[in-house]
Amino acid sequence: MFLTLVTPEARRVLQALGLLILVMLLGGLGYYLLGQGLWTFEQAVYMSVITVSTVGFAELPRFADVGGARELTGAVIVCGVGAVAYFQSTLTAFLVEGTIGHAWRRNRMKRQIEALSDHVVVAGIGSTGRHVVEELRAMSKPLVAIDRSREHLERVSSELGGTLLYIHGDATDDDVLADAGVARASGIVTTLNDDKANLFVTLSVRSVNPTARIVARVIEPETAAKMSRAGANVTVSPNRIGGRRMATELVRPEVAAFFDSLTRDHQDLRFQEIPIEGASSYAGKQLSELPPRAVADVVVLALKDQDRFRYNPAPGSMLRTGSVLVVFGEAGEVEKLRRLVEKPSSG
> Residues 286-315: pLDDT tens digits?
999 998 888 889 999 999 988 889 999 999
* CA-to-CA separations, 231 to 113, 188, 224, 225, in angstroms, rounded: 24, 11, 11, 10
Q: Please report, for the chain, how many H helices and E strands are present, in that order.
A: 12, 12
DSSP 138: H
Number of domains in the chain: 3
Query: pTM of the prediction?
Result: 0.63
Higher pLDDT, 9 or 304: 304
52 residue type, one letter = V
End position of a domain, from candidates 57, 88, 110: 110
What dihedral do alpha carbons 180, 227, 136, 261 form, nearest 10°? 160
Q: Do 121 and 203 reside in the same domain of the chain?
A: yes
Residue 2: per-residue pLDDT:
44
CB-CB contact of 190 with 170 (8 Å): no
Q: Do 36 and 99 reside in the same domain of the chain?
A: yes
Q: How confident is the model at residue 3 (pLDDT cuts 50, 70, 90)?
A: very low
**Residue 241 covered by a domain:** no
CATH number reported for the structural domain that contains residue 209 in this entry: 3.40.50.720
CB-CB contact of 32 with 61 (8 Å): no
> Residues 142-200: pLDDT tens digits?
999 999 998 899 899 988 888 899 999 999 999 999 999 999 999 999 999 999 999 99
Closest to 340 (Cα-Cα) out of 299, 271, 292: 292
To the nearest whole percent, how much of the chain has pLDDT over 90?
46
* CA-to-CA separations, 312 to 130, 133, 305, in angstroms, rounded: 33, 31, 13
Closest to 118 (Cα-Cα) out of 186, 178, 214: 186
Produce one character per residue of 22-45: b if its CB has 16 or more CB atoms within 10 Å, e if not. ebbeebbebbbebbeebbeeebbb
**Residue 244 covered by a domain:** no
Residue 101 pLDDT exceeds 70: no
Q: How confident is the model at residue 1 (pLDDT cuts 50, 70, 90)?
A: very low
**Residue 48 covered by a domain:** yes
Q: How confident is the model at residue 346 (pLDDT cuts 50, 70, 90)?
A: low
Q: Do 205 and 136 reside in the same domain of the chain?
A: yes
Question: Which three-class secondary structure string do you get for 244-258?
Answer: HHHHHHHHCHHHHHH
**Residue 14 covered by a domain:** yes
**Residue 153 covered by a domain:** yes
Residue 116: per-residue pLDDT:
94
Q: Do 272 and 333 reside in the same domain of the chain?
A: yes
> Residues 67-79: pLDDT tens digits?
888 888 888 888 8
Alpha-carbon distance of 317 to 334, in angstroms, equals 20
> Residues 251-294: pLDDT tens digits?
999 988 888 777 666 567 788 899 998 888 898 899 999 988 88
CATH number reported for the structural domain that contains residue 311 in this entry: 3.30.70.1450
Higher pLDDT, 61 or 122: 122
**Residue 216 covered by a domain:** yes
To the nearest whole percent, how much of the chain has pLDDT over 70?
92
End position of a domain, from candidates 67, 86, 110: 110
CB-CB contact of 202 with 231 (8 Å): yes
CB-CB contact of 248 with 222 (8 Å): no
Residue 21: per-residue pLDDT:
92
Q: Do 106 and 148 reside in the same domain of the chain?
A: no
Alpha-carbon distance of 251 to 233, in angstroms, equals 32
Residue 98 pLDDT exceeds 70: no
End position of a domain, from candidates 57, 82, 110: 110
CB-CB contact of 338 with 290 (8 Å): no
220 residue type, one letter = E
Domain interval for residue 278? 268-342
Alpha-carbon distance of 17 to 22, in angstroms, equals 9
* CA-to-CA separations, 88 to 14, 46, 82, 92, 331, in angstroms, rounded: 12, 21, 10, 6, 51
Q: Do 231 and 122 reside in the same domain of the chain?
A: yes
Residue 5: per-residue pLDDT:
46
